[in-house]
Amino acid sequence: MGSYWLEGPAEPLDSTRLRGRADVEIVGGGVTGCACALALAQAGLAVRVHETREVASGASGRNGGFALRGGAMGYDHARQSLGRPRARELWRFTEDALERLAGLAGTAFRRTGSVRLAWDREERGDLRADYRALAEDGFVVEWLDEVETPGGVRFPGAIVHPEDGALHPAAWVRRLARLAADAGVEIREQSRVEALDQLEADQVVLATDGYTRGLVPELEAAIRPTRGQVLVTAPLQSPVFARPHYARHGYDYWQQTPDRRLVIGGQRDASLDTEWTSEEEPTERIQRRIEELARTLVGSLPPVTHRWCGIFGSTADLLPLVGELPGRPGTWVAAGYSGHGNVLGLACGEAVADAILGRPADPVVTVFDPARPESGLSELEPRHVA
C-alpha cells in the first residue's frame, strides 16, 4: 500500500526539452524544486529539473497534507531564539507564502484552519505561551479551553490557526510542476543525479530536503534524513475533523479528507533511533502505535487502506538551510524543513530563485543561511507536523 496522495496516474507533464545548456539545473522535483524552477523560468532563464522518480514522489507526496504558517519551532520559542522582530518576520514570511500557495494550488488546497492541541497540562502551558506571544504580535489566533474527540479524548487546551489549511500535497506539486513546464522548464523524471559533476549549468540548486545523501558531504552532516509514517483509513461514517489537528509537539497529526478518510501519522518518538533513516518502508511498531492513536481518537479503528513513509530533512535548530553553500560558488540549497515543507518549501524555493536572479531578498532569509554556526546537528530534537 503506497501513499494515498500518489494514488492513480499523474497527468503527463510533456515539458519542452531545452536546446543547449541550462542556466540553472535543479535536483529535486518536489515543491521546492518546482517553485524555484517556475520563478527562474518566468524571469527568462533556461531551467532543467532532475527528479529521481516522478514529480512529487518524495516527501512532497508522502506527508500528512498540512499547510501551516510558521515553522517547526513554536512561536514563543522562535521569539526567544531569534528575537521578537525576526520571529515576527519569519511568521509573516510563511503567511505570505501560504497566500501564494492558496492562489496557485486550486482545489488541492482547502482553507480550513488548523488546530494545535495540548495533550496534557504541561503542553497546555507551552501552547498558552505560544498563544499569548502570537496575539501580542498581532497574528490571528484563537484559544480553546478544551477539545473532545469522537472517541472521548479530552485535550485540555488548543490553539486554532484560522488561516491554515488542508492540502492534497501531490496534486499541489503536480500543478506547480505543470505551471513550471508551461513556463518553459525542462522537467526530467527518472533522472537520478549521482554527483554534481554530472550537471553542466553554472548554477545548481539542491532541492531534495531529506534526500541529500551522496551529493554534498558537508550537507549530509547538517541535514538528517527522518522518516515520518502515515496511514489512511476507509471513510468514516461522518465528518468529525473539519481541520487538520496536531498534538504532542507535532509527534501526532491527523486530518479528514473530503471523502471522510482519516489521514493520521506520527508516533516517531516511540523509536527515534530507527526513524533517523532514509528507508521508506513502514515499520510494524510505529504503524501499530498510529493505529492505537486512531482508535483513541474515533473510538474504533476503521479498515486501513494505505500505509506509507515519507523522508523529510531535519536540522538541529529547526530552521531550513537556504542559500549558496559555503565554499561552493554556484551551488545553492533549499532543504531541511524539519517536517514543515509544504509552505516553507514554496517560500524557500522562490527565495533561492531571487538570490540567483540578484533580486533583493526578504530580510528573514538570513536566518536560514547555510553558513550559520547553528547549522550542524545538536541536541535539539526536530518534530514532524507535515
List the chain domain ranges.
Answer: 24-375
DSSP structure class, residue 60? G
Which of 260, 261, 262, 251 minimizes the C-alpha distance to 297?
Answer: 262
Q: Are 27 and 206 in contact (CB under 8 A)?
A: yes
CATH of domain 24-375: 3.50.50.60
Question: What pLDDT is recorded for position 373?
Answer: 79
Determine the Cα–Cα distance for residues 369 and 350; give it in Å rounded to an integer: 15
Q: Are 272 and 289 in contact (CB under 8 A)?
A: no
| Number of Cβ within a 10 Å radius of residue 366 | 13
Determine the Cα–Cα distance for residues 205 and 47; give it in Å rounded to an integer: 11
Question: What pLDDT is recorded for position 378?
Answer: 34
Question: What pLDDT is recorded for position 377?
Answer: 28
> Cell numbers at residue 346, please?
514554496
Q: Are 342 and 385 in contact (CB under 8 A)?
A: no
pLDDT truncated to tens, each residue of the chain (386 aa)?
799 999 977 888 888 899 989 999 999 999 999 999 999 999 999 999 999 999 999 999 999 999 999 999 999 999 999 999 999 999 999 999 999 999 999 999 999 999 999 999 999 999 999 999 999 999 999 999 999 999 999 999 999 999 999 999 999 999 999 999 999 999 999 999 999 999 999 999 999 999 877 789 888 889 999 999 999 999 999 999 999 999 999 999 999 999 999 999 999 999 999 999 999 999 999 999 999 999 999 999 999 999 999 999 999 999 999 999 999 999 999 999 999 999 999 999 999 999 999 999 899 999 999 989 776 523 334 444 55
Question: What pLDDT is recorded for position 169?
Answer: 97
DSSP secondary structure letters along 13-51: --PPPPSS--SEEEE--SHHHHHHHHHHHHTT--EEEEE
Question: What pLDDT is recorded for position 376?
Answer: 52
Determine the Cα–Cα distance for residues 242 and 239; give it in Å rounded to an integer: 7
The two beta strands, 154-155 and 147-148, are antiparallel
In the three-class reduction of DSSP (H, G, I as helix; E, B as strand; rest coil), residue 369 is classed as coil
Question: What pLDDT is recorded for position 386?
Answer: 53
The two beta strands, 262-266 and 321-324, are unpaired
